[in-house]
Chains A and B, each alone.
Chain A
Amino acid sequence: MAKKLPRKDVAIIGLGWTGSILANELTDAGLDVVAVERGPWRNTATDFSISYMQDELRYRIQHELFLRPAQMSVTFRNNAGQTALPVRNWGAFMLGNGVGGAGVHWNAETFRFLPSDFITKSHLTQRYGANFLPADMTVQDWGVTYNDLEPHYDTFEYLCGTSGQAGNLKGKILDGGNPFEGARSRPYPTPPMKQGYGHTLFAEAAKQLGYKPYPQPSGNLSQAYTNPLGVSLGQCTFCGFCEWFGCANYSKASPQTTILPVLLRKPNFEARTECEVTRINLDSTGKRATGITYVDTSGEEFEQPADLVLLCAFQLFNVQLLLISGVGTPYNPQTGQGQIGRNFSHQTVSAALGFFDKDKYNFNPFVSAGSIGMCIDEFNGDNFDHGPLGFVGGGYIGQVQTNGRPIQITAVPPGTPAWGSKWKQALKDNYLSTINCGAACHGSMYSYRDVYLDLDPTYKDRFGRPLMRMTIDFHDNEIKMSAYLTDKYAEILQKAGAKQVVKQPRKGPYDVTTYQTSHLCGGAIMGDNPGNSALNRYLQSWDIPNLFVMGASAFPQNAGYNPTGTVGALAFWSAAAIRSQYLKNPGPLVHA
């Protein structure tokens, strides 16, 4: 029998980026807020100590900062003709755990989506005609525009101290920035990162080919910075232990380094860690959330009543909780009915290995950072004419190699024996002179009728709840796009002086064992009416007005950029609507 706790104004599920942003905003509004987090508290000095953080085996290979699949996992199949089987160990994506969420272990690549990304359907239809899109592609417009979100992108960037070079400042195109970006109202809060040799060489080659390279917008700060909340961050030291690792010297933007010090001091905020939320509770009408139920590590159940419930967990677990709690209607791929679970997407990443002459090139790959790198946007979104190409979508292409960690990064040319003295020689000859950038082509993945999430019929978590089931495969559109982007990237590597380029375009079937970023999106998407989405433009559930669902689960399809900048902007946008409209008049904010 769940023990019922005293009522709170707001219950937040998950204390990662969006949970921290919303908690800070709503405590500022005077509300009494509790955040329940499945994982443990994480503290820079203890958990990301400079004396042992540099451990590829522990943190990258054995995922110590991540959720253990034994605690919660998902099942996977390529299509409905297969039986979905459990993801017994992470591969294609890595799921965070603990206070700070993915904000602890991310690379801190902080992009904005293009204006056209928010109106993907109408934009592409207008330009190429409806018949140009594959029949089973289910892309949609978001219900918000880039202009709606611009001030909130700005807020998130200034919260983080993002280091970058503006490309479009209030309509004026600036040299050195991304000329394709949506107009921004202010420059980045700190200057762009310094770049390494490999990144710089790539940019020079790109320029020679007529492209306009720009420094990747980075949450690894180029200089010390104090954000508007008064929280200070330090300067990135190019340690090369960024993604999968916590930052030892306060130089990577995370909830810990930007919000939590201020949030935790507030008397109207409380975090409960190592507690897993098992359901969102609804009243007897099923149209109102009454609070949440969670379990602590000894299995004791607690019911936390709240007036407002914010679902701020990772995308997969947002959708899982909605389904388990009976919010909305589960998606049925046969009929196309039901909103919860549809328009699920990931990212279409690819790369090419660039082997260079070891006597002439020394890239020092270990001098690096999570968001270092030089990118081009000529082949992102709809920045180029897709007409003759036969696909839609795109992505940034960049030399964004983040590290030189030997277990993963050591690459040898094709034909090298897998073992023995020759292998060892190849290792030595190529380590310093290879560009091995895992997600050099960061392509979009659009949505499809047969790519979706639902509850697995067989496999359960430790509480007996069904795991989330992923049904996902690549479609021709993304395969074509990936080949195209990879070719462009290979050209630039050639121009940069590579003696051998080995293209690694993404090919189907979708493989859950090889890492492809953790940018899982969709399943509880936003839109302009309840017939095409789970959430309205403010991320408010169409079905349950006192439930808002944050995160990339709201993306109707994924664009050709890392999602976190947009996740942060949407969180601030939603928070603003809650503060200025919802709190004054609780109820649906949009009447469609």
Chain B
Amino acid sequence: MYRTNRRQLLGSSAVLLLLSSRAARATIIKGALPWTPGAADPPTAVIPGGWKYFTPQEAATVEAFVDRLIPADDLSPGGKDSGCAVYIDRQLAGPPGRLEGFYMSGPFQNGTKQQGLQSPITPAQHYRKALAALDTACRAKFGNRPFADLTDAQKDEAIKGLEDGSLKLDGADSQEFFKLILTDTQTGFLADPIYGGNRDLVSWKLIGFPGAHYDYRDWIDRHNERIPLPPVGISNHPNWSQ
């Protein structure tokens, strides 16, 4: 895979930097459409292997968790083999994990449900706290074993306990955490494989979504027909090597 440099303002006579005593950043566009040859802004591909945010213990917990949220069965590999834990790990290690871009000025105060997120706690912090608390709760409930070491039935019981709030977490809200990890798991499962989940396009194969195609002109009139295009991702094209 080849990557060009991130866009730089170079060369084109149509784009001038507004100069001042401090290197100001404003782009004046005058006379022609700006153009930088070779410029592209593709997403940064997740390279599996290792953990960028989770500790080994946290990773084990999350892998076990996602594998129950999305179990392996006839329909598809489980959440773990689909890369959902890798997806979550990379997201938490990056800007989404820090809520970068969110309005994070205070004062923080609790609001109504309609007012949405009002906590300064980032997802990265939330996971760290909740995963530790989950292990503590599981040890207390299931004979001194952390979540990852429980049987499948016990794991499901613990997850249901989070879902309905009956399994309390010290320092975290069970239902809030459950919603967070469920959303992240399912998002990772269904997103483009370039982000680490949906490995080998498993979810798209499952549901019949052809993925990153762009031209369906030949299909718009073919009502109620199955479209035999195998799924492709942004940088995942099994059909390119026969």
| Assembled-state Cα–Cα distance A99/B212 (Å) | 26
The reply on A300 being an interface residue by CB < 8 A is yes
Partner of B75, one of A52, A73, A87, A421: A421
A363 — which chain B residues lie within 8 A by C-beta?
Answer: 224
User: Are B112 and A3 closer than 8 Å at their CB atoms?
Assistant: no
The reply on A93 being an interface residue by CB < 8 A is no
User: Are B182 and A511 closer than 8 Å at their CB atoms?
Assistant: no
User: Are B217 and A238 closer than 8 Å at their CB atoms?
Assistant: yes
The reply on B105 being an interface residue by CB < 8 A is yes
The reply on B69 being an interface residue by CB < 8 A is yes
User: Are B206 and A427 closer than 8 Å at their CB atoms?
Assistant: yes
Partner of A432, one of B26, B208, B211: B208
Partner of B109, one of A85, A367, A424: A85
A502 — which chain B residues lie within 8 A by C-beta?
Answer: none
A334 CB, min distance to chain B CBs, angstroms: 23
Q: Which segment of B35-43, B49-57, B142-150 sits at the interface?
A: B35-43
| Assembled-state Cα–Cα distance A462/B40 (Å) | 30
A28 CB, min distance to chain B CBs, angstroms: 17
User: Are B116 and A78 closer than 8 Å at their CB atoms?
Assistant: no
The reply on B47 being an interface residue by CB < 8 A is no
| Assembled-state Cα–Cα distance A206/B211 (Å) | 31
B71 CB, min distance to chain A CBs, angstroms: 5
User: Are A194 and B221 closer than 8 Å at their CB atoms?
Assistant: yes
A364 — which chain B residues lie within 8 A by C-beta?
Answer: 219, 225, 227
| In the complex, residue of chain A having the shortest beta-carbon distance to the beta carbon of B187 | A407
| Assembled-state Cα–Cα distance A237/B70 (Å) | 34
Q: Which segment of B125-133, B166-174, B188-196 sits at the interface?
A: B188-196
User: Are B27 and A459 closer than 8 Å at their CB atoms?
Assistant: no
User: Are A69 and B25 closer than 8 Å at their CB atoms?
Assistant: no
Question: Using a CB-CB cutoff of 8 Å, which residues 93-126 of chain B contact chain A?
Answer: 96, 99-105, 107, 109, 111-118
Partner of A274, one of B26, B96, B109: B26
User: Are A46 and B36 closer than 8 Å at their CB atoms?
Assistant: yes
B159 — which chain A residues lie within 8 A by C-beta?
Answer: 419
Q: Which segment of A161-169, A263-271, A477-485 sits at the interface?
A: A263-271
B88 CB, min distance to chain A CBs, angstroms: 13
User: Are A237 and B195 closer than 8 Å at their CB atoms?
Assistant: no
Interface string of B178-213 (1 = CB under 8 A from A): 000010011100111011000000011011111111
User: Are A73 and B103 closer than 8 Å at their CB atoms?
Assistant: yes
Interface string of A241-253 (1 = CB under 8 A from B): 1000000110000
Partner of A237, one of B29, B216, B224: B216
B116 — which chain A residues lie within 8 A by C-beta?
Answer: 87-89, 91, 512-513
| Assembled-state Cα–Cα distance A43/B206 (Å) | 35
Q: Which segment of A57-65, A178-186, A324-332, A539-547 sits at the interface?
A: A57-65
The reply on B220 being an interface residue by CB < 8 A is yes
| In the complex, residue of chain B having the shortest beta-carbon distance to the beta carbon of A61 | B187
A270 — which chain B residues lie within 8 A by C-beta?
Answer: 28-30
The reply on A196 being an interface residue by CB < 8 A is yes
User: Are A428 and B215 closer than 8 Å at their CB atoms?
Assistant: no
User: Are B76 and A424 closer than 8 Å at their CB atoms?
Assistant: yes
- Beyond A88-B102, A238-B220, whether A78 also contacts B114 by CB under 8 A is yes
The reply on B7 being an interface residue by CB < 8 A is yes
| Assembled-state Cα–Cα distance A418/B27 (Å) | 48
The reply on A366 being an interface residue by CB < 8 A is yes
User: Are B31 and A85 closer than 8 Å at their CB atoms?
Assistant: no
The reply on A465 being an interface residue by CB < 8 A is no
User: Are A40 and B27 closer than 8 Å at their CB atoms?
Assistant: yes
The reply on B153 being an interface residue by CB < 8 A is no
The reply on A77 being an interface residue by CB < 8 A is yes
| In the complex, residue of chain A having the shortest beta-carbon distance to the beta carbon of B23 | A298
User: Are A424 and B73 closer than 8 Å at their CB atoms?
Assistant: yes
User: Are A300 and B22 closer than 8 Å at their CB atoms?
Assistant: yes
| In the complex, residue of chain B having the shortest beta-carbon distance to the beta carbon of A248 | B214
B28 — which chain A residues lie within 8 A by C-beta?
Answer: 270-272
- Beyond A69-B102, A270-B28, whether A237 also contacts B217 by CB under 8 A is yes
User: Are B43 and A197 closer than 8 Å at their CB atoms?
Assistant: no
User: Are A54 and B212 closer than 8 Å at their CB atoms?
Assistant: yes
The reply on A406 being an interface residue by CB < 8 A is yes
The reply on A284 being an interface residue by CB < 8 A is no
The reply on A573 being an interface residue by CB < 8 A is no
| Assembled-state Cα–Cα distance A435/B65 (Å) | 31
User: Are A52 and B42 closer than 8 Å at their CB atoms?
Assistant: yes
User: Are B208 and A431 closer than 8 Å at their CB atoms?
Assistant: yes
A417 CB, min distance to chain B CBs, angstroms: 10
User: Are B39 and A46 closer than 8 Å at their CB atoms?
Assistant: yes
User: Are B234 and A421 closer than 8 Å at their CB atoms?
Assistant: no
B216 — which chain A residues lie within 8 A by C-beta?
Answer: 237-240, 366-367
A459 CB, min distance to chain B CBs, angstroms: 7
User: Are A85 and B118 closer than 8 Å at their CB atoms?
Assistant: yes
Interface string of A38-73 (1 = CB under 8 A from B): 001101001101111111111001100000111001
B228 CB, min distance to chain A CBs, angstroms: 11
| Assembled-state Cα–Cα distance A367/B223 (Å) | 10
The reply on B68 being an interface residue by CB < 8 A is yes
Interface string of B78-98 (1 = CB under 8 A from A): 000000000000000000100
The reply on A416 being an interface residue by CB < 8 A is no
| Assembled-state Cα–Cα distance A554/B175 (Å) | 43
B191 — which chain A residues lie within 8 A by C-beta?
Answer: 56-57, 407
B39 CB, min distance to chain A CBs, angstroms: 5
Question: Using a CB-CB cutoff of 8 Å, which residues 421-471 of chain A contact chain B?
Answer: 421, 423-425, 427-428, 431-432, 458-460
- Beyond A50-B214, A420-B68, A424-B76, whether A56 also contacts B115 by CB under 8 A is no
A460 — which chain B residues lie within 8 A by C-beta?
Answer: 105
User: Are A88 and B103 closer than 8 Å at their CB atoms?
Assistant: yes
| Assembled-state Cα–Cα distance A273/B217 (Å) | 36
A555 CB, min distance to chain B CBs, angstroms: 24
B186 — which chain A residues lie within 8 A by C-beta?
Answer: 407, 419
The reply on A335 being an interface residue by CB < 8 A is no
Partner of A57, one of B26, B40, B187: B187
The reply on A261 being an interface residue by CB < 8 A is yes
B102 — which chain A residues lie within 8 A by C-beta?
Answer: 68-70, 88-89
B205 CB, min distance to chain A CBs, angstroms: 10
B41 — which chain A residues lie within 8 A by C-beta?
Answer: 46-47, 49, 52
B103 — which chain A residues lie within 8 A by C-beta?
Answer: 69-70, 73, 86-89
A260 — which chain B residues lie within 8 A by C-beta?
Answer: 33
- Beyond A87-B103, A89-B102, A367-B220, whether A272 also contacts B26 by CB under 8 A is yes
- 10 A-B residue pairs with Cβ-Cβ distance under 8 Å, sorted by A, are A3-B20, A53-B214, A54-B192, A55-B234, A57-B187, A69-B103, A367-B219, A419-B182, A424-B73, A513-B114
Q: Given contact pairs A54-B192, A54-B234, A86-B103, enumerate 8 new A-B contacts (beta carbons under 8 Å).
A: A58-B43, A70-B101, A88-B104, A241-B214, A273-B26, A297-B25, A419-B182, A512-B116
Going nearest first, the 3 A-B pairs with the smallest beta carbon separation are A197-B223, A297-B25, A431-B207
